[in-house]
Amino acid sequence: MKDYDEQLATLQLALLKTQQAMIASGERALIVLEGRDAAGKDGTIKRITEHLTPRSTRVVSLPKPSDYERGQWYFQRYVAHLPGAGELVIFNRSWYNRAGVEVVMGFSTKAEQAEFLRDAPDLERMLVESGIRIVKIWLDIDRGEQKKRLAARHDDPLKALKISDMDAVAQDRWKDYSEARDLMLARTHSPIAPWHCVRADHKKPARLAVMRHIVREIAPPSVAKHVGDPDPAILFPFDQQATVDGRLSK
């Protein structure tokens, strides 16, 4: 992609200035990054955090719950990782596991999924009203691109830690994941905590779009005004029509 490195550096500087302002003001921000398997979450997070201070930046990617955690209120282990004053927290997968992989793979029941879809918007409303700024992003890729990326993990020894048991069924359960995604987005998209979707078949434009969106959402006006809006062909606010008009892969 032409001038990718230049755009990346500009956006990383804007994120750095944003973090400086957050530390000074005590603002709190939470980025919820969800998406298809192999949609590029890890690479996107790496570019977002590359030049930010670890003291005020946390990436949360929780393992499967322990027996003790399974006996807790579902949201409890996620709430423990919410940002404090001046912090930016990125959830690489989040409580939305319950609306996606858990229900598709049978780790939770339909009743538990329905309870989650009812409760999640209320939780997010409370978080926003408490002063936490929430940015929710869904990364979407088409089936052929996912197949190619999953295969590449097995061909590259440096990607060995990216391989998981879920990879083996991502393609077989493609339709189930699509249906779970559509229901999740429709039921948890709200004015106070909206979803934005990203066409992530091409990694570099997708990363830049996500970073632009984050800056536009959480940066002070003095920083945000120098960063243009993301390309709407790549990043767009969720609406129900996106599930049928081709913007989200079926």
pLDDT of residue 1: 73
**Other CB atoms closer than 10 Å to residue 42's CB: what's the count?**
15
pLDDT of residue 188: 98
Average pLDDT, stretch 213-221? Answer: 98
* C-alpha distance from residue 199 to each of 65, 91, 97, 109, 113 (Å): 30, 19, 20, 30, 26
Distance CA 125, CA 46 (A): 28
pLDDT of residue 26: 98
Q: Which amino acid is located at 174 in the chain?
A: W
Average pLDDT, stretch 77-83? Answer: 97
Distance CA 99, CA 177 (A): 10
Average pLDDT, stretch 221-244? Answer: 96
Beta bridge partners, 28, equal 132
Please compute Rg for the chain using Cα positions.
18
pLDDT of residue 157: 86
Predicted confidence (pLDDT) per residue in 47-69, tens digit:
999 999 999 999 999 999 999 99
- Within 8 A by CB and 6+ apart from 1, the residues are 202, 204, 205
CB 92 within 8 A of CB 42: yes
With 0.75 as the threshold, say if the pTM is over it. Answer: yes
CB 197 within 8 A of CB 136: no
How deeply is 33 buried, as exposed, middle or buried, from its count of CB atoms within 10 A (0-12, 13-18, 19+)?
Answer: buried
Predicted confidence (pLDDT) per residue in 121-145, tens digit:
999 999 999 999 999 999 999 999 9
Predicted confidence (pLDDT) per residue in 148-198, tens digit:
999 988 888 888 778 777 777 899 999 999 999 999 999 999 999 999 999
The tokens describing 28, both together, are 């709190």
Predicted confidence (pLDDT) per residue in 18-40, tens digit:
999 999 999 999 999 999 999 99
Residues listed for the chain: 250
DSSP state of 248: S
Predicted confidence (pLDDT) per residue in 90-102, tens digit:
999 999 999 999 9
State the chain's mean pLDDT as an integer.
Answer: 95
Task: State percent of the chain over pLDDT 70.
Answer: 100
Average pLDDT, stretch 210-236? Answer: 97
CB 162 within 8 A of CB 153: yes
pLDDT of residue 36: 95
